[in-house]
């Protein structure tokens, strides 16, 4: 519940249920993140899931957590906010680059989270072995703000839309905290084109130790479903979101930059026919 997915899910729920004459009822469910959301969509426990675009790509292609088991029935619905791979470190740890993580107490994220997958990809690109080179931990992001302030970890990875309340908490304690650049990732971006260079919006965290622009990489957040989700259900949800986009955008600062055209990007699985029907009616396809 400390990320952006949960409030965004709640906002989508309200938009759908507020549609006049709509009989659909929606519940928003907290989870461990992208991997669980995709798996729960595929096993039928949930109808829609929010997931990073890189995880969507890996699931459909049968890579990473789905190695050799492509999730060919996964379907793209639309994209949401950009997600920034954010590396937060205590100032007294001396960590100012990814290379400086060597020997340090670093949280990589909980199993089944996009945070962990991104952290492992970055460490591999930096030629760091999480088992041999780091004192790696597997905490949830909800635990990290207090752990870094209590000097129990030195740094942690968090893939998230900004601003984020948990990061605000981490940067406002007695122990000074900085954002660490994630650079030298050109080969990773070349091999994994769902990644792109971006920046951490440090101005949103005035109490953090900040020095100029903090470069990093990121991707998009996407809404996914299964191929057998009825077209009318997907159509109703998409129509509710796109025709009330201004209402959705004010639900969280990370959503303020949403545009109808931008929300059609990030589809690494086929587009669901129910979504396609609305996009054609709206002149977006």
pLDDT given at position 270 = 97
128, 77: one domain: no
Outline where DSSP puts E strands in 91-174: 105-107, 135-137, 155-160
Domain count within the chain: 2
Same-domain check for residues 24 and 107? no
Q: Are residues 203 and 163 in the same domain?
A: yes
**Domain termination residue (choose one: 172, 193, 219):** 219
First to last CA, the chain: 34
Q: What angle do CA 117, 84, 163 make, to 5 degrees?
A: 130
pLDDT per residue, tens digit, the chain (285 aa), is 767 889 899 999 999 998 888 888 899 999 988 999 999 999 999 999 999 999 999 999 999 899 999 999 999 999 998 899 999 999 999 999 999 999 999 999 998 788 999 999 999 999 999 999 999 999 999 899 999 999 999 999 999 988 888 999 999 999 999 999 999 999 999 998 789 899 999 999 999 998 777 999 999 999 999 999 999 999 999 999 999 999 999 988 889 889 999 999 999 999 999 999 999 999 999
Question: Are both 93 and 174 inside the same structural domain?
Answer: yes
Query: Do 251 and 199 reside in the same domain of the chain?
Result: no
* pLDDT, position 156: 98
Write down the pLDDT at residue 122. Answer: 97
211 and 109 belong to one structural domain = yes
Confirm if 137 and 105 have CB atoms less than 8 A apart.
Answer: yes
Q: Which residues are within 8 A (CB) of 264 and not within 5 positions of it... i.e. 6 or more apart? A: 78, 79, 279, 284, 285
**Eight-class DSSP state of 209:** B
Print the domain residue range for 272. 5-82+221-281
d(CA 37, CA 45): 9
Nearest-angstrom CA–CA distance, 245 and 207? 32
Residues 261 and 214 in one domain: no
Same domain, 87 and 212: yes
Burial class (CB in 10 A: 0-12, 13-18, 19+), 28: middle
Q: Which of 118, 134, 105, 98 is nearest to 33 (CA)?
A: 118
Same domain assignment for residues 15 and 121: no
Do 10 and 29 lie in one domain? The reply is: yes
d(C-alpha 55, C-alpha 34), whole Å:
7
CATH number for position 209: 3.40.190.10
Domain end position, chosen among 201, 219, 237: 219
Residue owning tokens 């994994």: 192
pTM for this structure?
Answer: 0.83
pLDDT of residue 113: 82
What pLDDT score does 33 carry?
86
- Among 171, 191, 219, which residue terminates a domain? 219
Longest CA span, the chain: 59
Does 90 lie in the same domain as 75?
no
Strands 135-137 and 105-107: parallel
Q: Does residue 127 sit in the same domain as residue 171?
A: yes
């Amino acid at each position: 519940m400390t990320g952006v997915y949960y409030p965004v899910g709640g906002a989508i729920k309200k938009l759908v249920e507020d549609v006049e004459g709509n009989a659909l009822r929606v519940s928003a469910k907290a989870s461990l993140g992208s991997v669980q959301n995709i798996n729960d969509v595929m096993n039928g426990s949930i109808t829609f899931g929010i997931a990073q675009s890189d995880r969507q790509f890996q699931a459909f292609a049968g890579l990473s957590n789905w190695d050799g088991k492509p999730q060919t029935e996964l379907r793209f619905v639309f994209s949401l906010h950009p997600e920034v791979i954010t590396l937060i470190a205590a100032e007294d740890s001396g960590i100012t680059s990814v290379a400086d993580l060597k020997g340090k107490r670093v949280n990589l994220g909980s199993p089944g989270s996009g945070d962990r997958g991104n952290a492992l990809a970055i460490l591999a690109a930096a030629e760091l072995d999480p088992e041999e080179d780091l004192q790696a931990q597997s905490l949830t992001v909800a635990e990290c703000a207090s752990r870094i302030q209590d000097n129990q970890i030195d740094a942690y990875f968090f893939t998230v839309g900004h601003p984020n309340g948990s990061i605000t908490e981490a940067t406002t304690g007695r122990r000074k905290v900085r954002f660490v650049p994630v650079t030298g990732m050109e080969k990773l971006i070349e091999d994994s084109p769902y990644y792109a260079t971006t920046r951490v919006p440090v101005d949103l965290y005035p109490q953090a130790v900040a020095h100029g622009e903090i470069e990093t990489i990121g991707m998009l957040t996407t809404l996914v479903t299964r191929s057998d989700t009825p077209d009318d259900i997907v159509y109703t949800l998409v129509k509710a979101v796109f025709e009330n986009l201004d209402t959705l955008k004010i639900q969280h600062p990370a959503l303020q930059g949403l545009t109808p055209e931008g929300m059609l990007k990030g589809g690494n699985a086929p587009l669901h026919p129910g979504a396609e029907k609305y996009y054609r009616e709206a002149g977006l396809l």
